[in-house]
Structure formats: structure tokens, C-alpha cells
């Protein structure tokens, strides 16, 4: 949205292609208040998204929704959509964002909505009086232990390693929480149940022993991965799949730029997304008028 706004500001004619049925990306799954975007505060991600889309609509900028890009031709500078349509342009800005990383175990998808939840903030009241398992070792995992711990009977955090990437303040609070238990050096091998989740099977990575942890609520927070599959072979990606860009958001392919979370994993924030969107638009404008 930032790239489109700045492209128009510079006299270009942007076309916004959005694969989902509504714009917003990760903002739509952000249920906490947003207080760290300079100059603006919002009750949640959707509220901030609405502010952004309203500004675009006032400029006549409306995204084409629900028609994913399935192919990119960097020579013809064109994209092919799932509907069969082709869109040609003089330049492209990839703002594909990220998705939550999956465990890839049985039960993970089958029990979505039947014990496997997607948001601690939104779904925590449903954990009242139940046993919960949270998988991960970063800030999000530990923060959700504290959120769900307000309602659940118990919360077990399971992490593959001994150490954590979470901030010390979160780790200390969880260690001191009367309902929380931390199990390290363990990997989840399956999410089990019948009609609903009844527990998870974990493996002790030191001994190989399997154990069952009873749970009625499971939340997975093992990080994110970029939505850049469609760019593989089109521009250079790093080993984790993030687009490699220079300080002007230029990729390895002239005329193609990348912004936001899919290109800046060190700072996946609204501020970075907005700033890099403006940078890419200005860089593209300069390239087109070289």
C-alpha cells in the first residue's frame, strides 16, 4: 500500500495485485494494540489496515483482490494470474510478506478450529479451565504463555533447544508463572485427538523417548517464512527464501524491487514496510526515467 501510494505520488500508475480476498496481510492477524508505529496508534492490526486502505481509496487506488499471481516473466515484465489474466508493467514491486511457519506434523491442519488455535489474544478465553500447549521459543511463544495463562488451567511451552530467542523479561515472567511449565530439547511429533485435540506427542531429542502431553488447546509459534515461492528463479533469494535487496530495495533483476517482511527479516515491522515501500517507489521512478 505504501509502494502504491508513493508510486502514484511520483506520477506512476500503480496496479495493486492482492492474492487474498482482502488486503492487510499480517495486520489482519494482529490482535494486540499497535503503539509503536510513529504518530499513529490503533487498537489492532485491522484498525490500522482500515486507516491505510481509506487513504488509498481517497486517491482512487483499489487493489485487485483474490486473484493470486502464479507466474512472473521478468523479461516481458508481466505476471500471470490464477484467473488466466496477464498484467504487464514497466516495473514491479514485490510486497509478498510472510506466513506463519508450520510444524508439518499430523493433526496440525486437521484440528484447526478444534483445539489448534491461531491467536492467543483472540482465542484465550476459550482456554478457560483447559490444559494448553504452546510450541516455540521466541517472544511470541512466551508472550502467549502469559496471555493464555490468564485463563487456562495449565500451559506447557515446548521448545526444540535449550536456549530461547525470546527476551529475558518474557522468559523470567514465564518461569515465575504458577501455571506454566517449560520443556526444552523436545520436538512435537504429532497433535493428537478424536473430535478435538486431546494432547501432543513429543520426542526427547537427547534420548529419543516419546511422551504424551495432555492438552485441549495448542498454539504454534515457531516463526515465519516468506511468501516468495513465486520469485524463486526470478530474483536472488537468500537460503531462508527472503529476497536479497540493496539499500534502494533493488533485487538482482533490473526493474523488480522488493519491500516489507519478504525482504527485511531483521525488522519485520509496519515502519519498515511503509519506509521500504516509499524507497522502492522512488527507486523505481528513478530507474524508469534514467
Share of the chain above pLDDT 70, in %: 100
Last residue of a domain, one of 220, 252, 275: 220
Are residues 186 and 229 part of one domain? Answer: no
Domain that holds residue 135: 116-220
Question: Residue 32: what pLDDT?
Answer: 87
Taking only the tens place, the pLDDT of each residue in 9-33 is 999 999 999 999 999 999 998 988 9
pLDDT interval class at 169 (50, 70, 90): very high
Are residues 186 and 156 part of one domain? Answer: yes
Half-sphere exposure at residue 232, Cβ-oriented, CA atoms within 13 angstroms: 9
pLDDT interval class at 36 (50, 70, 90): very high
Are residues 174 and 135 part of one domain? Answer: yes
Are residues 212 and 125 part of one domain? Answer: yes
Last residue of a domain, one of 196, 220, 244: 220
Are residues 235 and 164 part of one domain? Answer: no
Are residues 175 and 34 part of one domain? Answer: no
Question: Residue 80: what pLDDT?
Answer: 97
Here the cell at position 218 is 495448542
Are residues 230 and 216 part of one domain? Answer: no
Are residues 92 and 232 part of one domain? Answer: yes
Question: Residue 267: what pLDDT?
Answer: 93
Q: Is residue 105, in this structure, part of any structural domain at all?
A: no
Question: Residue 110: what pLDDT?
Answer: 95
Decide if 74 contacts 156 (C-beta within 8 A). Answer: no
Q: How many domains does the chain have?
A: 2
Task: Phi first, then psi: give them for residue 276, nearest 5 degrees.
Answer: -70, -30
Last residue of a domain, one of 171, 187, 220: 220
Are residues 81 and 48 part of one domain? Answer: yes
Question: What is the chain's mean pLDDT, rounded?
Answer: 96
Are residues 241 and 212 part of one domain? Answer: no
Residue 232's CATH number = 3.50.50.60
Decide if 140 contacts 221 (C-beta within 8 A). Answer: yes
CA distances from 11 to 17, 69, 254 (A): 19, 25, 20
Q: Is residue 202, in this structure, part of any structural domain at all?
A: yes
Q: Is residue 108, in this structure, part of any structural domain at all?
A: no
Q: Is residue 6, in this structure, part of any structural domain at all?
A: yes
pLDDT interval class at 200 (50, 70, 90): very high
Q: Is residue 89, in this structure, part of any structural domain at all?
A: yes
Does the pLDDT of residue 152 top 90, yes or no?
yes
Question: Residue 24: what pLDDT?
Answer: 94
Per the DSSP assignment, residues forming a β-bridge with 158 are 135, 183
Taking only the tens place, the pLDDT of each residue in 47-94 is 999 999 999 999 999 999 999 999 999 999 999 999 999 999 999 999
Are residues 157 and 197 part of one domain? Answer: yes
Are residues 260 and 189 part of one domain? Answer: no
Taking only the tens place, the pLDDT of each residue in 226-274 is 999 999 999 999 999 999 999 999 999 999 999 999 999 999 999 999 9
Decide if 155 contacts 143 (C-beta within 8 A). Answer: no
Question: Residue 268: what pLDDT?
Answer: 93
Amino acid at each position: 500500500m505504501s509502494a502504491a501510494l508513493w508510486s502514484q505520488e511520483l506520477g506512476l500508475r500503480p496496479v495493486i495485485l492482492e492474492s487474498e480476498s482482502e488486503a492487510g496481510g499480517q495486520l489482519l492477524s494482529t490482535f494486540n494494540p499497535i503503539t509503536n508505529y510513529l504518530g499513529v496508534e490503533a487498537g489492532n492490526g485491522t484498525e490500522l489496515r482500515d486507516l491505510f486502505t481509506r487513504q488509498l481509496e481517497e486517491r482512487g487506488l483499489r487493489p485487485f483482490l483474490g486473484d493470486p499471481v502464479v507466474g512472473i516473466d521478468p523479461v516481458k515484465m508481466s505476471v500471470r494470474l490464477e484467473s488466466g489474466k496477464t498484467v504487464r508493467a514497466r516495473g514491479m514491486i514485490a510486497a509478498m510478506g510472510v506466513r506463519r511457519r508450520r510444524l508439518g506434523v499430523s493433526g496440525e491442519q486437521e484440528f484447526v478450529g478444534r483445539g489448534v488455535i491461531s491467536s492467543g489474544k483472540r482465542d484465550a478465553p476459550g482456554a478457560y479451565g483447559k490444559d494448553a500447549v504452546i510450541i516455540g521459543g521466541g517472544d511470541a511463544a512466551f508472550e502467549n504463555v502469559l496471555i493464555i495463562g490468564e485463563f487456562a488451567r495449565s500451559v506447557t511451552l515446548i521448545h526444540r533447544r535449550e536456549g530461547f530467542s525470546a527476551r529475558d523479561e518474557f522468559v523470567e515472567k514465564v518461569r515465575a508463572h504458577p501455571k506454566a511449565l517449560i520443556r526444552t530439547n523436545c520436538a512435537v511429533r504429532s497433535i493428537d485427538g478424536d473430535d478435538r485435540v486431546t494432547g501432543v506427542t513429543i520426542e526427547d531429542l537427547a534420548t529419543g523417548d516419546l511422551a504424551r502431553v495432555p492438552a485441549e488447546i495448542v498454539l504454534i509459534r515457531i516463526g515465519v517464512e516468506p511468501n516468495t515461492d513465486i520469485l524463486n528463479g526470478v530474483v536472488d533469494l537468500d537460503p531462508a527464501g527472503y529476497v536479497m535487496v540493496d539499500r534502494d530495495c533493488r533485487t538482482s533483476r533490473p526493474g523488480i524491487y522488493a519491500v516489507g517482511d519478504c525482504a527485511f527479516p531483521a525488522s519485520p515491522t509496519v515502519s519498515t514496510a511503509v519506509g521500504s515501500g516509499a524507497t522502492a517507489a522512488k527507486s523505481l521512478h528513478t530507474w524508469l526515467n534514467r
